[in-house]
Structure formats: C-alpha cells, structure tokens
Amino acid sequence: MAQLIDGKAISAAVRKRIAEEIQSLQEEQGITPGLAVILVGEDSASEVYVKNKGKACEEVGIDFELYRLSASATQQELEETIGSLNDREDIDGILLQLPLPSHLDANQFVGLIRPDKDVDAFHPENIGHIMRGDFVFLPCTPAGIMELLRASGIDPAGQRCVVIGRSDIVGKPTAMQLLHADATVTICHSKTQNLAEVCREADILVSAVGQAGLITGDMVRPGAVVIDVGMNRNEEGKLCGDVDFASVEPVASYITPVPGGVGPMTVAMLLQNTLEAAKRHSGITG
C-alpha cells in the first residue's frame, strides 16, 4: 500500500516556520508582512477561499486586508484599487481572487499588479522568471507540490515525470519546476493519445485536470509517486480528486489524499510568498 503524503502535517510545519520567522522580523526589525486580497463579486467558493486565507494570515502574523468590489465593478474601479495597493508601502503582496465576473479580463488585471507584489506569480514578468529558473515567486499550488515532494524525501532528479493538465496556474508551472529539478517531463492534455500508456511510464505522476476518477490503478506504474491536484465532487457530492484512490493506493509508493494532500499547501505557500516579498521590500534577501 502507498504511503500517504500528509499535506496537512507538512503545511502545518511550513506555517510554523513562517510564524517563527515573522515573529523574529517583528521583534528585531519591526517588519510585519502585509497581504491585500481583492474579491470581485460574490462567488461562493471564492468567499470560502478568501476566508481561509485571512485566517491563515492571522495565525502566522501577516496583516490581512480584504477589498470587496461588486459583481458589476467597472474596469476603472478595479484598476484604481490595484493601483492604490501598488503604491502602499505597508502592502507586500496583492492577490486578485479568481475567477472574475465575465466582463473583466483576468489576464489584463493580473498584469497590472506590481511583479514584486504578485504573490500568485501570475504576472507575465514572473512567468518569464519561472521559465528561466531565476524566480522569486512560484504559483502557490506548484510550489506546494514541490514542497510535498521535498518534505517526503522524493527527489525528481533523473525521474520520468508526467503532468496531466496544461493550465497556466498549475500544469505548466509544475512541469517547469520538475524540469528545473532535473526530471524528464511529459505534459499530457485533452488531445494526448494513449494517455494510460504515457502515465504508466511515470515515476512521478501529477494529475491536475479536475476530472473525478480519471487516473485508475491500471494507469500507474508499480511504485510510482502519485500527486492528485484535482478538487471534484463525485455523484454522491463527496469531495474527491482526479485519482481513483481505491485502485491506485495499492499500486503507488506514495500518494496524496483528497482532501488533505495538495490543498492545504496552496495557502501555506501563499504565506511563504508574502513573507518573501516583505523581506525583499525591506532589503533582506536569501
């Protein structure tokens, strides 16, 4: 049976380290990181995510500010909100909660956030640094995946990695990080032929497509590491991932559960990015 990669425990360890570092910064240099989140509209899932981010910030000592705009907010209103936060010295990180209402172009507004405050790492400049490998921030979910592997003693170097999903938020940056870690990486997507055959070649298999039960035990090489990024609801309404856990667990060597795997790491890495931004704004690097 596969060993569970406990995202809750690893996330708790990351948060503890962040809280201790923030306390030291406050005591020794009077530095308190600040994060601003912009929420446009009343998407129920976004409300939950933002609430969790605010609670996590409070726990580690990050000042948290929430800016709410109505679902009918204009382009000018959102531009002005982002511009004012860009100018504030006490705000180290800015996060634009997605999705936005359909009349607003997310890519346009993400590009207005100062790259040094872009703690989601979605700005084109930060994406370029991720491609080159000289990045400061990583998107939070890919960063969480890499931390799960590191904390579990799993080294991607020399391994064959298969990433299912090519989104700008998870699939592509995860593939780039595995490549920077000296893995050989294949990206699969909706047009990939013989998906099961490709998956069986993987030493490390990452699924991030949002399709419940996509990955079954016969698609996994014995002893492979399986990272499940999917967040879905099955026919009974129960939260589940992309991986059919029951059939894959006996085959894999390591596996992330859903919930309790990758999910808790996403917020933890947002806190890490905000801390890193605050340190750099204060002239502290490394």
Active-site residue numbers? 53, 97, 120
User: Exposure of 130 by Cβ count < 10 A (0-12 exposed, 13-18 middle, 19+ buried)?
Assistant: buried
d(CA 255, CA 160): 16
- Strand pairing partners for 65? 36
d(CA 208, CA 139): 14
232-233 and 254-255 as β-strands: parallel, antiparallel, unpaired? unpaired
Contact 257, 46 (CB under 8 A): no
d(CA 124, CA 114): 11
d(CA 33, CA 277): 8
Contact 136, 126 (CB under 8 A): yes
Show the tokens assigned to 150: 């590191």
Q: Which residue has the tokens 């005591």?
A: 27
d(CA 273, CA 249): 32
User: Residues for the chain: how many in total?
Assistant: 286
Residue 96 dihedral angles phi and psi, to the nearest 5° = -95, 110
